[in-house]
A and B are shown apart, each in its own frame.
Chain A
């Protein structure tokens, strides 16, 4: 698993972003990839799309239209303890 993706999961675990709580996808991905080079960023995005089953994705109506929000998949939560 991509190291930046594990950090993303770790962030969501510690902030309890599972169940009903969610976060803007753009915000969290930008914060994870800001300091990466072009190839590293592509690698991260590929890993993120491969592991989409780890996240629950929903579209939220906001002041500026709508945007995608994500939260951890509760059914996969037991497996997150084994992720390193």
Chain B
């Protein structure tokens, strides 16, 4: 059997790297780190948890965070045990803008998911209505119970 070889640049992203922020601004190490801090907006976070969840190498994260601190986007807050905690700079205008867009993107994504699920119920009803002679209300009840059970 012939083995399908994947080209390096064309392979799909791993699941842990797919998020709303990177869909907007593109997938990069900087955006992954920014996304993590936007999710934890208002609280200070250690870089160890960024490394654990994003699965980016330690030196790459430290390098990018140093640049972000230089640009005044991320601010070091306090030390806990042997960890330095960082948070987003709320006074920075670009951070405020990013947070606004991030929230809007999140809400629209969830609305889209909910509407898609509702539309799937409607499509099942339409398909059943073509073949059966049941009323649409009865079919809708049936479809919702079936989909909930799944």
- Shortest C-beta distance, B14 to chain A (Å), equals 11
A residues in contact with B46, CB < 8 Å: 34-35
A30 close to chain B: CB less than 8 A: yes
B residues in contact with A7, CB < 8 Å: 39-40, 43
Bound-state Cα–Cα, A10 to B39, Å: 6
A47 close to chain B: CB less than 8 A: no
B19 close to chain A: CB less than 8 A: yes
Question: Does the CB pair B18–A15 fall under 8 Å?
Answer: yes
Question: Does the CB pair A78–B39 fall under 8 Å?
Answer: no
Question: Does the CB pair B49–A80 fall under 8 Å?
Answer: no
Q: Which residue from chain A places its CB closest to the CB of B44 in the assembled complex?
A: A35
Question: Does the CB pair B107–A11 fall under 8 Å?
Answer: no
B62 close to chain A: CB less than 8 A: no
Please count how many residues in chain B sit with their CB below 8 Å of the partner chain's CB atoms: 32
Bound-state Cα–Cα, A5 to B23, Å: 24
In residues 1-60 of chain A, which contact B (Cβ within 8 Å)? 3-4, 7, 10-11, 13-16, 18-19, 21, 27-28, 30-32, 34-35
Contact of B35 among A14, A21, A34 (CB under 8 A): A14
A81 close to chain B: CB less than 8 A: yes
The interface bits of chain B over 36-68 (1 if a CB of A lies within 8 angstroms of the residue's CB, else 0) are 101110111110110011000000000000000
Bound-state Cα–Cα, A44 to B53, Å: 19
B85 close to chain A: CB less than 8 A: yes
For the complex of A and B, 4 pairs with smallest distance between CB atoms:
A31-B49, A14-B20, A10-B39, A11-B39
- Having A7-B39, A34-B49, A34-B83, one finds 9 other A-B pairs with CB under 8 Å, namely A4-B43, A10-B40, A13-B106, A14-B38, A15-B19, A21-B15, A30-B49, A35-B49, A80-B110
> Which of B's residues lie within 8 Å of A, judged by CB?
15-16, 18-21, 35-36, 38-40, 42-46, 48-49, 52-53, 80, 83, 85, 102, 106-107, 109-111, 113-114, 117
